Amino acid sequence: MTYRNILTIGAKLYGTALLGFGLVNWLARGVNDEGAKQAIVTGNLVGDAIGFVVSLIGQLGGATGVNALGWSTVLIYLLLTAGFAYLRFGPRQSTMPATR
């Protein structure tokens, strides 16, 4: 297996993981249990924060195969981390109904 094939498989696995996380979040949008909502948001926050740190270290360290486009990955993880941090620690609106 060549280095290029390994990168291709890694990128596909990364994409499927992101689709899975997105699907979990989409299907959980109507959850009424506050504890479940906080668990989902906290899981997303931790995962995206770690992804931000890892992608930033990789970008700054000049990881093999990472170019200027790698900054988009850093930015995406930063935005996701900020959004989930806001949902986790920002003002709560308990009167907002769940959407279906």
- Full pLDDT tens readout for the chain, 100 residues: 776 777 788 788 888 988 999 999 999 988 999 999 999 999 999 999 999 999 899 889 877 667 777 888 899 999 999 999 999 999 876 555 565 5
pTM score: 0.77
Record the tokens describing residue 41, joined without a space: 């948001």
**pLDDT score, position 93:** 66
DSSP assigned state of 19: H
Collapse the DSSP code of 43 into the 3-class scheme (helix H, G, I; strand E, B; otherwise coil) and give the result. Answer: helix
Distance CA(64)–CA(48), nearest Å, equals 22
pLDDT of residue 99: 59
Q: What is the pLDDT of residue 69?
A: 79
The residue to which tokens 């506050």 are assigned: 34
DSSP letter (8 states) at residue 65: T
